[in-house]
């Protein structure tokens, strides 16, 4: 990850990569935000003072940038100046006393248990790809995986004796996630029959294979889950692989699981990220009350 404009931005991104192990997409977002701030100010970002940073946010607002985009830019600038402090290049942080943009978090789409079941039953199990897709859907809902984690899952990460998966998540963080009986049965049957049919004479370490014997991509499965949603009578605009991860978490909490356990299963670094699902459970309870109480 390099910056052709400012070597200090390059040094900052390299430090992030080494110390935090941030993914390439995250590093690219930091670079864009910092270089965009330089374009606005027409000077090296490390020389900016508080008024300069306020000007950056004013222009982002005038350009119609969303609250989330401005919050991300603030986070990038804040971490950059903290890096300069650590390197003793600067002693102050001009971002520190600028108020954070308040983000109204959008609640994820909530699927009911019956909707999940309808979606799970959509693939054609007589086809190797259909059996693969059913297995992926079962794994996403059973274990709360990100679709990227499912795509990158290797055979060596499947712990058959324990019915669990050894997952390498964001930033290379490891976690062990269990599978329910439905998911494990589909996975073992897929590994025994459908996967060899898809592989043919090819070899691969990856669990989920495409029709050409290569690694299944996120985009491929994203398109296929939309097709299954449509087939199941669900709104394809509201269904994605991540929707099943949301369903996994919200259904666990509705069933009595504690927040900390759900955090560990999801691989969230901060429990505040997991707390969004308590709001979903509260909203669902309120909706149930409104529909069923005689005086609601």
Q: Is 141 a catalytic residue?
A: no
Q: Is 251 a catalytic residue?
A: no
Q: Is 245 a catalytic residue?
A: yes
Q: Is 100 a catalytic residue?
A: no
User: Which is the catalytic residue, given 170, 218, 231, 284?
Assistant: 170
| Domains by residue range for the chain, with CATH | 7-86 (1.10.150.130), 113-292 (1.10.443.10)
Each residue's pLDDT expressed in tens, for the chain with a length of 296 residues: 444 578 999 999 998 888 777 778 888 889 999 999 999 999 999 999 999 999 998 898 888 888 888 888 999 999 999 999 999 999 999 998 887 765 555 556 678 899 999 999 999 999 999 999 999 999 999 999 999 999 999 999 999 999 999 998 776 788 999 999 999 999 999 999 999 999 999 999 999 999 999 999 988 999 999 999 999 999 998 898 989 998 998 888 888 888 888 888 888 877 777 777 766 555 555 555 566 556 55
User: Which is the catalytic residue, given 72, 245, 246, 251?
Assistant: 245
User: Which is the catalytic residue, given 82, 166, 218, 268?
Assistant: 268
Over the stretch 102-115, which tens digit does the pLDDT of each residue have?
555 555 667 889 99
Q: Is 170 a catalytic residue?
A: yes
User: Which is the catalytic residue, given 31, 132, 146, 195?
Assistant: 146
Q: What is the DSSP string of the chain?
A: ---SS-HHHHHHHHHHHHHH---HHHHHHHHHHHHHHHHHHTS-GGG--HHHHHHHHHHHHHTT--HHHHHHHHHHHHHHHHHHHHTTS-S--TTTTSPPPPP-PPPPPPPPHHHHHHHHT-S-TTSHHHHHHHHHHHHHHHH---HHHHHT-BGGGEEGGGTEEEEE-GGG-EEEEE--HHHHHHHHHIIIIIHHHHHTT---SBSSB-TTSSBPPHHHHHHHHHHHHHHTTS-GGG--HHHHHHHHHHHHHHTT--HHHHHHHHT-SSHHHHTHHHHHHHHHHHHHHHHH-TT-
pTM above 0.75, yes or no: no
Q: Is 146 a catalytic residue?
A: yes
The pLDDT value recorded for residue 3 is 45
């Amino acid at each position: 990850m390099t910056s052709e404009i400012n070597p200090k931005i390059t040094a900052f991104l390299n430090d992030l990569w080494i110390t935090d192990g941030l993914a390439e997409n995250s590093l690219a977002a930091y670079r864009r935000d910092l270089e965009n701030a330089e374009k606005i100010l027409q000077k090296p970002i490390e020389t900016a003072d508080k008024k300069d940073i306020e000007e950056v946010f004013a222009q982002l607002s005038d350009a119609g940038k969303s609250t989330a985009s401005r919050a991300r830019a603030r986070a990038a600038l804040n971490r950059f100046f903290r890096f300069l402090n650590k390197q003793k290049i600067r002693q102050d942080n001009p971002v520190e006393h600028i108020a954070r943009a308040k983000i109204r978090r959008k609640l994820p789409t909530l699927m009911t248990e019956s909707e999940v079941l309808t979606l799970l039953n959509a693939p054609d199990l007589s086809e190797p790809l259909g059996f693969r897709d059913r297995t992926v859907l079962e794994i996403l809902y059973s274990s709360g995986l990100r679709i990227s984690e499912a795509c990158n899952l290797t055979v060596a990460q499947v712990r058959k004796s324990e019915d669990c998966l050894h997952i390498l998540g964001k930033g290379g963080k490891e976690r062990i996630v269990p599978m329910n009986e439905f998911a494990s049965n589909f996975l073992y049957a897929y590994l025994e029959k459908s996967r060899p049919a898809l592989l043919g004479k090819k070899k691969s370490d990856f669990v989920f294979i495409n029709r050409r014997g290569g690694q299944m991509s996120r985009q491929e499965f994203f398109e296929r889950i939309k097709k299954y949603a449509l087939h199941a009578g669900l709104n394809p605009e509201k269904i994605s692989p991540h929707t099943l991860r949301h369903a996994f978490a919200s259904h666990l909490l509705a069933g009595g699981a504690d927040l900390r356990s759900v955090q560990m299963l999801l691989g969230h670094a901060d429990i505040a990220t997991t707390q969004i699902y308590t709001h979903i459970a509260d909203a669902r309870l309120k909706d149930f009350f409104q529909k069923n109480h005689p005086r609601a």
